[in-house]
Amino acid sequence: MRRGNIIKLAALVLLAALAVAFSIQPLTNTTNGIPLGLDLRGGVHLVLQAQPGADGKAITREDMDKAKAIISKRVNDLGVSEPYIQTDYDKKRIIVDLAGVQDPDKAVSVLKTTAKLTFRDPQGNVVLEGDELKDARAGQNQRGEFVVNLTFSPEGAKKFADLTTKYVGQRISINLDEKILTNPQVNEPIPNGQAEVTGYSSMEDAANDAVLIRSGSLPVSMSIAEKRQVGASLGVDSLNKSIQASIYGLVFIVLFMLLFYRLPGLVANFSLVVFALIMLWALWLFRAVLTLPGIAGFILSVGMAVDLNIIVYERIKEELRLGKSLRAAVEAGFSRAFITVFDSNLTTMFAAATLFFLGTGSIKGFAITLGLGIIASLFTAITFTRMILRWIVGISPRMSTFWFGVRREA
């Protein structure tokens, strides 16, 4: 049994070392790693203010919900990962945080454009609108021109066929808001529900209009109430300082645990490595955006994980002072500390859940990391650490209690 426990410990240490080595690249990858929030990666913070129409009609909650849905779709089509979009119904505003945006002006232009698509007859009357469209995609035609290919819904295809049949030999215009995208002459009826918008100088311009057309028109016009660009250098500086502070804190924790708890302290430090791996992979798996408050939640959860080990170890030391054997002291320590540990973490989990459901973006990031930290710390402190200590006691059940932080021999 002793030999088997030694092999288990060696295998576990080797496995942890390999896990750390193989986790560095995927977790820190700038493209597919843990996504960083606006405060760490840089980007643009926008506040879009809904404007009442010329008819004086009040802006409803339904208008704001629809506007948010359309803006969300535009953001996704722009390829922005992990955006933060929130609606302020009282002030009729939509708050948008876009991390890692390379061209903020382009993003602003795409998001705030009303994008009402209309088809007009030769007299300028609106005869067909964009809500009859099914899709819009940028591409190139046979002549090599950059175009936006429009596909109508079945109902829209019928209306477009009637329109092109009626105005053969005349021009109809396709307009985005008040801008004429194209004004082609109809040479023959188009019954297949397909249309082509030409006149673009680049694929990027065509793609931008395709995004606007595809997402639909905003129910209300939007103006920029606030625009703040967060530089990547600020995010990098904040991240570096956070990492530096975390390293100092971890060094202090490692030394403290070794000094006061000796062998169990070494086990606790090893458990912290496993805890960190669980936390980081959980953040990666759930695509949780890491922000400065999120880092604070991570550090707090590390402190809680250490605190759980301290509670258990103090109970073990009490049992040893009562004269119990190492095996009995370890089992009694974990059993008697469980209720205290579970109760304290359950109340903290309720607090994290409250922050998540009632908080906004950065507060939610804090709540997510804190909640994940509670789950991971309970596993490492109650299950993982207990397993390792059982193996160690199995290797040397009569070792000096000095190695467990108790001077008096059992």
DSSP per position, 212-224: HHHH---SSEEEE
pTM over 0.85: no
Sequence-separated (6 or more) residues with CB below 8 Å from residue 103: none
Q: Which residues of the chain have pLDDT under 70?
A: 1, 30-31, 53-56, 79-82, 102, 231-236, 238, 360-362, 408-410
Residue-level pLDDT at 14: 92
Q: Which residue has the tokens 């903290």?
A: 348
- Name the amino acid, one letter, at 342: F
pLDDT digits (tens, 9 = 90+) for 194-220: 888 887 888 888 888 888 888 777 888
Find out if CATH 3.30.200.20 is the number for domain 115-217: no
pLDDT digits (tens, 9 = 90+) for 216-236: 778 888 888 888 877 665 566
Q: How far apart are CA 234 and CA 227, in angstroms?
A: 17
pLDDT digits (tens, 9 = 90+) for 260-312: 898 999 999 999 999 999 998 988 888 777 777 888 888 888 888 888 889 99
Whether 2-37+231-404 shares its CATH topology with 115-217 is answered no
Residue-level pLDDT at 234: 56
Sequence-separated (6 or more) residues with CB below 8 Å from residue 133: 117, 150, 151, 152, 153, 156, 213, 214
3 state DSSP class of 60: coil
Sequence-separated (6 or more) residues with CB below 8 Å from residue 312: 333, 334, 337, 341, 381, 382, 385
To the nearest 10 degrees (0 to 180), the angle between helices 2-28 and 232-285 is 140
Residue-level pLDDT at 388: 92
Residue-level pLDDT at 80: 65
Residues in a beta bridge with 133: 152
| Structural domain spans, the chain | 2-37+231-404, 43-111, 115-217
Find out if CATH 1.10.390.10 is the number for domain 43-111: no
How crowded is residue 375: how many other Cβ atoms within 10 Å of its Cβ?
Answer: 15
- Four-way CATH pick for 2-37+231-404: 3.40.50.11600, 3.20.20.70, 1.20.1640.10, 3.40.50.10490: 1.20.1640.10
C-alpha separations of 96 from 120, 228, 359 in Å? 34, 11, 16
Residue-level pLDDT at 180: 84
